[in-house]
Every structure is written in C-alpha cells, then in structure tokens.
Chain A
Amino acid sequence: MSNAVSALDGRTSAGDVTVCEDGLRGMITLRGDLANTKLKAVCTGLTGVDFPAQGHANCVGQQGLAWMSPDEVLVMVHHDKVADALEKIAKALKGQHHLAVNVSDARAVMIVEGPYVRDVFAKLAPVDLHPDAFAPGTFLRSRLGQVAAAFWMRDAQSIEVICFRSVADYAFALLEAAAKGGRVGHFPEG
C-alpha cells in the first residue's frame, strides 16, 4: 500500500560511520524443522540464497535467510512480496507442523557503514566482533544497549541490523552516538 512507512522513514546520520534506516523489508518468521528439505527448498527458492548454517545469514540486497535458532529461520523478501511468500510456504509445508508469520512491520532495518563499523557495534553489543569471529556471513542475535537486535556484515565496512520497530528511534540514536564517539582502534584494520 502506498501509505506504508517504515519506523524512521529512511532517517540517515552522516559521519565517518553512517547510519541509515533502510526502509521497509519483508520479513517472515518461519519456525519448523530446519533440516526438512521442503522447508529449505521453499526458503532458498523465495530468496535466491543458500540456506544458512547455524549462526549465519546469507543475504543479497533485500533478500536473504538468517539462522535465528535451531527451529527458526528469518526469511527476508521485498516488502510487497510477503503475502505471496507466505502462500508459497504454506503450500510447500502443508501438513507439516510449522509456523510462518509476517513480522515485516514489527521490525526496523538499519545499515551502518564506515571504516570503524566494528567499533560502533562493540560499544553497544556484548559479543565478539573480531574479524576472526565476525565476518561477512556470520549472524548474531544480541542486543544494542538495552534492546534486542540481530546483525550481520554485508561487507568489511558495513553491518546490517534489525531491531523492533518500537525502539527504532532508540537504536538509531544509540548507533549514531556510538559512531560519533569515534574509533577505538582495537580491531585489526580491513
């Protein structure tokens, strides 16, 4: 629908490390047996990416799959393709115990980009962001400050993060403050 707006309506913050709200993203919480071939097939078919291993995400642009838990995968598609995707999932998994729900509007997506993007997240999340542990492909469910968040690297200088819509304002301000706080210089360059 034309009057649909994302939580922060594309807000951006300039600086050495930028923070941009990335608009509406189609997201489906899919719970079920992740080893099931039909489940994997419908997921990869919808997104065009490989099914991720534990602790990983495979994303290209707006589409992708993220491993959320042993029985949950996050399916990302274009926002206007969610109904269609839900239908395909229902069809593929008919008769199998699963749950697929649209959570697109319950979320906000932000992209944080710049030379010390790892530092920005390390200021807010109690996880290991060293390149040995966190590189493009790895996916973390953690927190930013006081709110839940999930994030992964798009490339060596940008991290994509999902949080709940209601706290998008807080998460954005937190990321912006951490970015403005500057480089720490702990992680190896590159």
Chain B
Amino acid sequence: MSTRLAREGRFTNKSKAVSFTFNGKNLRGVEGDTLASALLANDQMIVGRSFKYHRPRGVIASGAEEPNGLVNLGKGASFEPNARVTTTELFDGLSATSQNHFPSLEFDVGAINTHLSRFLPAGFYYKMFMFPRPFWKHVYEPFIRKSAGLGKAPKERDEHTYEHFNIHADVLVIGGGIAGLAAALAAGRSGARTVLMEQTAHWGGRAPVDGATVDDISADEWVKATVKTLEEMPNVTLRTRCMGAGVYDHGYVLGYERLTDHLTQKDGTKHRLWRVRAKQVVTATGAIERPLSFAANDLPGVVLASAARDYVVNFGVSLGDRTVVVTNNDDAYRTAITLKEAGLDVPVIVDARAHADGDLPAQARALGIRVETGKGIAKVKGSKRVTGVAICAQAGEGAVLEEISCDCVAMSGGWSPIVHLWSHCGGKLSWDPDQAMFRPDLDRPPTGADGQPYVMAAGVANGHLFTAEGIADGFMAGRAAAKAAGHDKKPGQPPAGEDTPENPLEPVWLMPQGASYALRSKAWLDFQNDVKVSDVQLAAQEGFESVEHAKRYTTLGMATDQGKISNINGLAILADQLGAEIPDVGTTTFRPPYTPISMASIAGPAQRELFQPVRKTPMSDWHTANGAFYEPVGQWRRPYAYLRGSETVHEAVNREVVNARTNIGLLDASTLGKLIVSGPDAGKFLDMMYTNMMSTLPVGKCRYGLMCTENGFLSDDGVVARIDEDSWLCHTTTGGAERIHGWMEDWLQCEWWDWKVYVANVTEQYAQVAVVGPHARKLLEKMGGMDVSKETLPFMQWANGTIGGFDTRVYRISFSGELSYEIAVPASQGRAFWDALLDAGEEFGIMPYGTEALHIMRAEKGFIMIGDETDGTIIPQDLNLQWALSKKKEDYLGKRAHSRSHMASADRWKLVGLETLDGSVLPDGAYAIADGVNANGQGNTQGRVTSTYHSPTLKKGIAMGIVHKGPDRMGEVLSFTNIGGEPIKARIVDPVFYDKEGEKQNV
C-alpha cells in the first residue's frame, strides 16, 4: 500500500497537517503536498476511471504529464473540472471528486466495456455508428455523450477575477530547472532584461532528486544560491507557478501564472496570463519519462520510475512496500536505490538489456538488490491494484518464468525531451538513435521576421540528459540568447555539473518484444483515452499510415494530456508495424497550450461589466433613468423605445411614432458618425468616395450621399454638409463611423497619397439631437436664438447659431418625413441641451423616441436603411437609387463594377413596398414564393422582405422588400413564406407609404 514515510520530503512540512476531501471522504495531508502525494499518503491509489473502458486508474506520474489523475475541484462558483492531481497543490479545505465514474469510483458499471474491448477496437466509433444515419443524432451521440466525458462543465458563473500582463523581454527562459536557472544567470549577467518562468512551485527541477552536484555542492544548495543571486539582479524577473504555455510568431509567448490555486483564501486575481514579447526564448523545459508497454501496465500501482522516487524524495510518500523496477536504462536504478535507502523493499530490477554493468547497477547490486537482465514483464497481476508481476524473457513471446509479488511497479522506457515549446512555431526535431528520442534540430529552429532563430532549446530539453552537459548547455543558451538580443557583457564561466555516469539505454517499444495479441491488447499506450498497442497496430493494418491519421483514428494523444507520455511509444509501434524508421513516421503536431489553461485567463478582465465596452452618449444616463429599452448598435446601446408605466415595448413604439408625427419627438442621434474631410482636394476625394457629386455642393447645404465598395455594393449612406470652401462634414451610419473613417484613410494613405486631404473623426465631439414633428420649429423659436424659419433655414441646409443659449449647428434634414432639425452641440453640453429641450417642449407634448420609432417612420417614408435593405450584395440600382449615381463624374468607387453584366442586368431583385392583403405584418426575412423547385429540390423564390413593421400611422402592416423586377410588377400579389403557417399574400406597392410628395418635411 502507499503511505507516508517517517522521513520528511523536500517540499513537505509534516508538522503542519492539511485537511481535504476526496469524493466526500475527509482526508489529511501535510503542508507542501500535491493532491497526488496527499492521496497516495492516504493509500488512495485509484484516482479515476479511464475514458473508454472505465478501467480503474491511479497516479502514474508526478508532474504535468500525468494522464490519469484528473479531478473536479471545488464547488459552485469556484468549481473547476479536469484539475491534474499532480499539479494541484494541497490547501486546507480542498475538495475534489474523481471524474468519469458511474456510479462510484470503486465500482463502475462502465467497466463492463473492458470485457467488451474486443468489440471496441480502434476506429470503433467510426465503424459502428455510421449507419443507419439518423441513429447518430438520436441514439448514438446522446448515449456516448452520457457515458463519456472528462469532467463536468461548471454550472455557476466563476466568482474569481483574472488578468493579463503584457511585458517585453530580451530573454524569456521557460523552465526553472538547473539548465533554466543557468540560462537566466547567463542572460541576466549579460545585461539582458530576463524573465524566468517555472510551472511548479519549486526551483531546480529534477536535479536535486537525482542527486546531481553543481560546482561541487549539491544541486539543492546550488539552486538556492542561484535563485538568491537572480533575485538580487534588477534586470531579472523570476516567477514560479507560471507555465510557459505557448510560443507564437514574433517572439510572442503566453505564460500562465496560477496565483491562488494553492491557497485556501482565494482573494484577488486567480490566474494571470503573461503576454510576453520576447526577443529570444530559451526553452529549458526538461524531459518526460516514457512508460514501457507491457500487459496491464495501466493498473493502479504501475508508475513511472522517476515519479516513484519523486514521491519519496520530495513528499516523503512511498507508493508501495515492495516495488519492482522495470527498465531499459540505468537511470531507473536511481529509483531502486532511493527506495532501498528509504527502507523499502525492491525485490527485483527487471532490465530488458542483456547487460547492466554501469555504475548505477553496480550500486544497486551493492545494496543487495537482485537485478535480472534480458528480462521483461509479461503481465502485471491484480485487478484494482498491483499484486505482483509475471516475469518473462524480453526476447520471447511472454512465457512466464517467474511470478513476484509486489504492490508497485516502477517503469522506465527512457526519456523524451519536452520539445513542445520549441516546436510550437516551427522548430524541427531530429531523431537521436543513441538515446532513442526526438530532440531539437538546432539547424532548423523557429525563425522570426528577420529569418533569424528566436527560440533556443537548452539542457535536458535540448537532448542533454546529463547534469554536466545540461547545465553548461543552459548557460550557453542564456548567453547566446542575450547576445542575439543585443547584450554581450561577459557572463563568466558556466557552472560545472556532475552526476553518476550512465550506460546507454536500449530502445524497448513492446515488452516482451514478441508479445502475443492477448498481451498487446492489454498493453496501454494512451492511458487517458484507452489506446493500446493492438489499436495502433490495427490502425496501421487498416491503412492509417500517416501518424496524424493514426492519431485521429485511434484517438492516441487526443486526451487532455495530449499524449505527453504516450505519443513517442505510439509512433514507435506504428513505425514498427509499417516497417518504417521512427524518424520517417515523425511526430504529430505540437500545439499550444502545453497543458490546458483556464478559459477565464484568456478572457482576462473581459468578464461581467467589462466583457465588452459599451459606448455611451452624453444622454445615456437620462435614457436609463427614463425607461430605455436598449438595443445594441455597434458597440453603442441605443434606446429602442422608452417604456412608460406598464407599457409593452410595442405600445411604447406606437406611442412614440404617433407623437412625433402629431406633436414633437426627440431622438438622441449622437451615435451617427461625423467625419470632417478637409483640404484642397477634399471635393475631388469625396466625389470618389460617394456615388453622387459632392464637390458641387454649395457651402451651407446638405446632400444625401451613397457610398459603395469598389465592387459596387452599397456600403454606407448619410447626409453630407459643406462647411466651407475646403471642408465637408460627412455623416455616416452609427455602425459605420470607424469603418468609413478607416476606409477613407486607407484610400488616402495607400492609393491617393499625394492628394491634399485630411480626415478627422469628430463623431464623439458632438451630441446630436433630432427635434422632429409639426411643433419642432415652435419649440426652437420658444427657446430663442438663431432664425430657424423656412426662409432662413430651408430644408437640406444647415447653419451655426445659438438655441436657448447653447452653441449649435443645426441641420434641416429629416429621416422621419416630418419637419425636423438635427442639432449638434458640444458633447459636454449634450445632456444639458437635452434637458433644456425636454423642459421647453413640455407644452408641445414632447417625447423622446427610440430607434424602432425611427425605423418605422423611415419605412413609412420608403427610406432605405443600411443593414436592412442592404446586406453586402445590394447595389444602389437594386434600391431604385439610380438618381444618386452621378453620370457626370468620370469615376467613383463602384462605378466600373456597376457596369458588370450581372450588375447592369434588368433581371435583378429590386426594391418595392409590400402590403399584406389582410393588413397583418409580414415576417422579417420572409421569401416570396415562385413556381417550381431548384436543383436542390428547394422551392424557388422571387424576392424577400427586408424591413417590416406595423405602422401606427397607417394602422396596418407595411414592408419593404426586394422582388424580381419588382418595380415593373406594381399591384401584383405574391405569396410569402410563413414558418409554421400558411403563406401570406402581399401586394407589390410603392415603397413610399406616407406623404409621397414630401410636403411635411419641407415646411
């Protein structure tokens, strides 16, 4: 059984007990534990069930590579699924539940799948669930979703806060082992702005556990001294609990810092996402030990050899009283030696190699440990945990030579450098046959915009598995990175490392090498996704020769651990099956993040009220206080209607329309875009921007204008006012202000850079209010100031002056068809002006109206709306706006496009008015039905509704739409689609429903 040892761990403080729960059970750990070490100290070997067969699974590793130990953490608003027990630090009050079990962890009905495994081979889902087709949606998928699932989705809103942090660095070192520390030391001493990130809470990586020495002191002491030195350097930032998650183009790197995950009191920022722009990146990310593929290697109690010694050394926890070590290398002997020295029993070291006569095997033998060379494990015995192993000849097919009882198996298949971050941006790998591993190919590094490398791998991650070469490599990488970043102060000599020499490993991809099908079908590669040696072999047999295809067919490496311990073993099996060399099969793609990071850290501060900026006009507070029912328009929120008392939105809209048409209405039009275009060539420029002529507009006058893209499609519209000889003010739609500003700058900067024109966006400088209705003039006259009479300020003119003491610019323009003044005042006075209008207008029955009333009034007048009548496929001709296409101008954006055959065709859908025969309102977007069906068997159509409203003025439904040759078909009755009902009949009419002569606006 696994238990807490008498000895203290490097990280633990046994005098401080920490209580936590696992599946509701109260357990105790100690300060410094991870959840994994605490569970193991409580003999909680089973921590989860596998994804497909629901096999009992225990902790296999001690770090980020752990595939099995995934738990749900916390409750309610701090619930978090898929937390890795090996990287979850224990704190008082931690509550964890295991995942993927039903009904309980100890007894799981899904485990029946393991007995059905011969019916659930690789690609099973693809083969089984294809037919009959409707079954997938209605039967298979719901069932699979229920029985599968790694973790649950949180149900409550996350209560924590998250943030980003943007920095620039000369050298970013990822990984705080001895190589990373040495790299940071060299870079820091060279004078570079250096950042060092370590994903765990501790500096030093594996070296202290493995008994290395540096500069003649223990690695532990060297690490402490070096961290202290680095902390004192002002140009170096050190960060633990901060994982280098991804390396992106241009030296952009994400660091994922977990600030409160290890604390009981989780006040303040939970996760911080470091967004680093680094000139050079050093990846000193270490290596991951590989499992060995033998039968039942997934039983709880079978662990990586390095993990077994980590738990003893770092946490004072043993995984079993009797541990069988199985290996193909010398390094795993360290585990046997560590366990033996901790007073635990190691009945045998099973070494697949024919000879084991290096220093470490010699030390093990000297401790009295039996070493069996040329042997392998035929099978692990036990059901829910290890009870023993059956030993066989590695060269054979698995005939059992001997059975040895044990409660733990520590396996080592060699080490794979962690090349993820090196590879994220295109760093290539080469196969090192001597060490049986992929390592960074230094001749093919990730390169930046200048074609120069910007990522360097260092230490173990660079394939230097031994202390001396690893730490020197780290130091040299730090120095080279600093130099590449422009800092070349001499950093001194690299630290000198030393460890026990090792003999070469012997690659072992299957144990025993001739294992029978029965054994291969129980030899796990991917523990989380339940992929076995037999599955990969089947995939190869079925033609999935590409490693990427085999991965997807078998799901190898597709679980939340992304195959950290399984990928190399899997592709070696694939290569063997294909009769190919491992480097020829290659690896799957390494993609960020290295391990999953919280979605909330990506959002950063963008949650709750900061989720998105909401743009506010100077009058927004008034709107909110007066019943505004908002709608989003771009990033603005505009009042759709102002609700009074118990009114419905529909009732409010009707009231607002009627009031504006009979008394007086106010509209907050501040959001409309306002661009100043100025310069000697401004007229020429606007003649290009607009389809109609703007250069001839007299000073003091307004003109409605259309803008098209160069492909001829309608892009924006608005009223343009000529301010003076060289300046025009162009109104855009609310959503178009920034876009059209950018559009104008684009043409000026990239195409007509020699034209003398400046553009400024003054949208927010002004609060603009539309004063609309028969009493509009009376109100302004009452407030006093400038002459707003028809004679002085006629329709489609503007003037500067004062109204009620406010400095204003008044435009006689109308989007409602009523007598209308649009009045701009400086934004700082917008609210005061609005209040003054309401005050003075009371006697005239003044009421503000919202965007829906605006829409209805413009539709009653047959005015088009960008975004309703247009959708990016509509040209002015479609909307009968030929009058706005200048024939005098040589060119304007869209002109040439309009002469393309399909654009110029008479065979297009064109704007008409639509009136239902029964006065009802047509559904928005409804299609006009035509005879017959198209090539896809769908009913043909001949038009569609673009705007549709109930008109309170006309007391019936009115609509606009585009209909095939519509204007030529006045009076014709069409049928329109009506989802869930009978088609609706509507007559084609003139789109101007109200005041066709325009008398009301021109008074």
CA gap between A71 and B747 in the complex, in Å: 16
Given pairs A97-B680, A104-B765, 17 additional interface contacts (CB within 8 A): A4-B828, A5-B832, A79-B828, A97-B679, A99-B759, A106-B763, A106-B765, A122-B167, A123-B163, A124-B166, A128-B168, A132-B193, A146-B612, A164-B764, A170-B610, A188-B234, A188-B235
9 residue pairs bridging A and B, Cβ less than 8 Å apart: A103-B760, A104-B765, A105-B765, A122-B166, A130-B168, A166-B615, A167-B615, A182-B269, A188-B234
Q: Is residue A3 within 8 Å, beta carbon to beta carbon, of the partner chain?
A: yes
Q: Is the CB of B165 within 8 A of A123?
A: yes
Encoded as 1 (CB less than 8 Å from any B CB) or 0, chain A from 160 to 184 comes to: 0000111111110110011001101
Q: Is residue A35 within 8 Å, beta carbon to beta carbon, of the partner chain?
A: no
Encoded as 1 (CB less than 8 Å from any A CB) or 0, chain B from 747 to 782 comes to: 000000000101110111110000000000000000
CA gap between A24 and B765 in the complex, in Å: 12
* Residues from 108 to 140 in A contacting B, C-beta threshold 8 Å: 119, 122-130, 132-133
B234 — which chain A residues lie within 8 A by C-beta? 188
CB within 8 Å for A184 and B272 given contacts A103-B765, A126-B166, A178-B163: yes
**Residues of B within 8 A of A (CB-CB), count:** 53
Contact of A99 among B161, B604, B758, B826 (CB under 8 A): B758
How far does the Cβ of B437 sit from chain A's closest Cβ, in whole Å?
A: 35
Q: Is residue A12 within 8 Å, beta carbon to beta carbon, of the partner chain?
A: no
Q: Is the CB of A99 within 8 A of B609?
A: no
CB within 8 Å for A1 and B829 given contacts A103-B765, A174-B610: yes
B605 — which chain A residues lie within 8 A by C-beta? 123-124, 145, 174, 177-178
CB within 8 Å for A99 and B678 given contacts A3-B832, A4-B828: yes
Q: Is residue A186 within 8 Å, beta carbon to beta carbon, of the partner chain?
A: yes
Q: Is residue B230 within 8 Å, beta carbon to beta carbon, of the partner chain?
A: no
CA gap between A41 and B766 in the complex, in Å: 29
Q: Is residue B277 within 8 Å, beta carbon to beta carbon, of the partner chain?
A: yes
Q: Is the CB of A105 within 8 A of B764?
A: yes
Q: Is the CB of A170 within 8 A of B277?
A: no
How far does the Cβ of B680 sit from chain A's closest Cβ, in whole Å?
A: 6
Q: Is residue B838 within 8 Å, beta carbon to beta carbon, of the partner chain?
A: no
Q: Is the CB of B829 within 8 A of A166?
A: no
Size band of the interface chain A makes with B: 35 or more
CA gap between A186 and B612 in the complex, in Å: 28
A7 — which chain B residues lie within 8 A by C-beta? 618
B616 — which chain A residues lie within 8 A by C-beta? 166-169
User: What number of A-B contacts does a CB cutoff of 8 Å give?
Assistant: 141
A107 — which chain B residues lie within 8 A by C-beta? 764
CA gap between A122 and B616 in the complex, in Å: 26
* Residues from 864 to 887 in B contacting A, C-beta threshold 8 Å: none
How far does the Cβ of A103 sit from chain B's closest Cβ, in whole Å?
A: 5
**Residues in A lying within 8 Å of B, measured CB to CB:** 1, 3-7, 24, 29, 31-32, 71, 79, 97-99, 101-107, 119, 122-130, 132-133, 145-147, 164-171, 173-174, 177-178, 181-182, 184-186, 188
In the complex, residue of chain B having the shortest beta-carbon distance to the beta carbon of A99:
B758
Q: Is residue B831 within 8 Å, beta carbon to beta carbon, of the partner chain?
A: yes
Q: Is residue B636 within 8 Å, beta carbon to beta carbon, of the partner chain?
A: yes
Q: Is the CB of A29 within 8 A of B166?
A: no
B829 — which chain A residues lie within 8 A by C-beta? 1, 3-4
* Residues from 614 to 651 in B contacting A, C-beta threshold 8 Å: 614-618, 635-636
In the complex, residue of chain B having the shortest beta-carbon distance to the beta carbon of A23:
B828
In the complex, residue of chain A having the shortest beta-carbon distance to the beta carbon of B257:
A184
CA gap between A167 and B163 in the complex, in Å: 20
CA gap between A184 and B255 in the complex, in Å: 14
A147 — which chain B residues lie within 8 A by C-beta? 613
A185 — which chain B residues lie within 8 A by C-beta? 237
CA gap between A123 and B164 in the complex, in Å: 5
Contact of B636 among A122, A166, A173 (CB under 8 A): A166
A184 — which chain B residues lie within 8 A by C-beta? 165, 272
Contact of A181 among B268, B615, B680 (CB under 8 A): B268
**Residues in B lying within 8 Å of A, measured CB to CB:** 161, 163-168, 193, 195, 234-235, 237, 268-269, 272, 275, 277, 604-606, 609-610, 612-618, 635-636, 676, 678-680, 756, 758-760, 762-766, 805-807, 826-829, 831-832
Q: Is the CB of B758 within 8 A of A31?
A: yes
Q: Is the CB of A126 within 8 A of B275?
A: yes
Closest 9 pairs (CB-CB, A-B): A99-B758, A3-B832, A105-B827, A106-B764, A166-B615, A128-B168, A4-B828, A170-B613, A106-B765
CA gap between A184 and B805 in the complex, in Å: 51
How far does the Cβ of A31 sit from chain B's closest Cβ, in whole Å?
A: 4
Contact of B614 among A6, A169, A188 (CB under 8 A): A169
Q: Is the CB of A102 within 8 A of B765?
A: yes
Q: Is the CB of B765 within 8 A of A181?
A: no
Q: Is the CB of B760 within 8 A of A181?
A: no
B604 — which chain A residues lie within 8 A by C-beta? 123
How far does the Cβ of B345 sit from chain A's closest Cβ, in whole Å?
A: 48
How far does the Cβ of A99 sit from chain B's closest Cβ, in whole Å?
A: 4
B828 — which chain A residues lie within 8 A by C-beta? 4-6, 24, 79, 104-105
B756 — which chain A residues lie within 8 A by C-beta? 97
How far does the Cβ of A93 sit from chain B's closest Cβ, in whole Å?
A: 12
How far does the Cβ of B623 sit from chain A's closest Cβ, in whole Å?
A: 13
Contact of B613 among A4, A105, A125, A145 (CB under 8 A): A145
CA gap between A171 and B272 in the complex, in Å: 20
Q: Is the CB of A99 within 8 A of B679?
A: yes
Which of B268, B613, B766 has most A Cβ within 10 Å? B613
B272 — which chain A residues lie within 8 A by C-beta? 184
B612 — which chain A residues lie within 8 A by C-beta? 146
CA gap between A166 and B762 in the complex, in Å: 12
In the complex, residue of chain A having the shortest beta-carbon distance to the beta carbon of B674:
A106
CA gap between A164 and B676 in the complex, in Å: 17
Q: Is the CB of A98 within 8 A of B758?
A: yes
How far does the Cβ of A84 sit from chain B's closest Cβ, in whole Å?
A: 14
CA gap between A133 and B129 in the complex, in Å: 60
CB within 8 Å for A165 and B164 given contacts A173-B610, A178-B605: no
CA gap between A159 and B678 in the complex, in Å: 33
Q: Is the CB of A170 within 8 A of B167?
A: no
Contact of B167 among A99, A164, A186 (CB under 8 A): A186
How far does the Cβ of B787 sit from chain A's closest Cβ, in whole Å?
A: 21
CA gap between A128 and B278 in the complex, in Å: 11
How far does the Cβ of A96 sit from chain B's closest Cβ, in whole Å?
A: 10
CA gap between A65 and B700 in the complex, in Å: 33
CA gap between A106 and B832 in the complex, in Å: 16
CA gap between A170 and B613 in the complex, in Å: 6
Q: Is the CB of A101 within 8 A of B762?
A: yes
B610 — which chain A residues lie within 8 A by C-beta? 145, 170, 173-174, 177
Q: Is the CB of A103 within 8 A of B165?
A: no
CA gap between A164 and B670 in the complex, in Å: 14
CA gap between A99 and B748 in the complex, in Å: 15
CA gap between A185 and B955 in the complex, in Å: 66
Which of A126, A132, A165, A186 has most B Cβ within 10 Å? A165
CA gap between A174 and B676 in the complex, in Å: 31
A98 — which chain B residues lie within 8 A by C-beta? 758
Q: Is the CB of B827 within 8 A of A165?
A: yes
CA gap between A126 and B164 in the complex, in Å: 10
CA gap between A173 and B607 in the complex, in Å: 12
CA gap between A126 and B615 in the complex, in Å: 22
CA gap between A181 and B568 in the complex, in Å: 42
CA gap between A99 and B195 in the complex, in Å: 45
B168 — which chain A residues lie within 8 A by C-beta? 128, 130, 133
Q: Is the CB of A105 within 8 A of B826?
A: yes
In the complex, residue of chain A having the shortest beta-carbon distance to the beta carbon of B764:
A106
